Amino acid sequence: MSAAQTIPGPWEVSDGAIWGVSPWNARVRIAQVTHFSPMNGIDSAGHERQIAAAPEMLIALQGLLHMLETDDGDEVQAWKQSLANARAAIAKATGSAA
């Protein structure tokens, strides 16, 4: 039995939901985020950003692991790209500039 596929990134936040594009090019809702009253101090928009950043975070971590496992000292540009991917994913998740 083969594993189920997930919707690849990037994912985006729109109308309180996380959206992606399926392999057959249809817009698909990945998740619906519950919005809490601002009085309770829960940052619903922060949850949306973190969920939407999941595909980029996975790619960044896979890239960094690959670099750590295969580094031969001559891949400076690949390291820089892996670190840039990680920074971009963190920025997306936190809502800050990369």
> 6 or 25, which is more confident?
25
Domain boundaries, the chain: 53-98
* Segment 38-65, tens digit of pLDDT: 667 777 778 888 888 988 888 888 888 8
Confidence at residue 2, expressed as pLDDT on a 0 to 100 scale: 58
Give the Cα separation of 25 and 87 in Å (integer).
28
Tokens 């039995």 belong to residue: 1
Confidence at residue 83, expressed as pLDDT on a 0 to 100 scale: 84
* Segment 8-45, tens digit of pLDDT: 888 998 888 899 998 889 999 998 887 776 667 777 77
What's the pLDDT band for 72 if we cut at 50, 70, 90? Answer: low
Long-range contacts: 44-48, Cβ < 8 Å, 24+? 44/16, 45/13, 45/95, 46/94, 46/95, 48/13, 48/16, 48/18
Confidence at residue 21, expressed as pLDDT on a 0 to 100 scale: 92
pLDDT greater than 50 at residue 85: yes
pLDDT greater than 50 at residue 97: yes
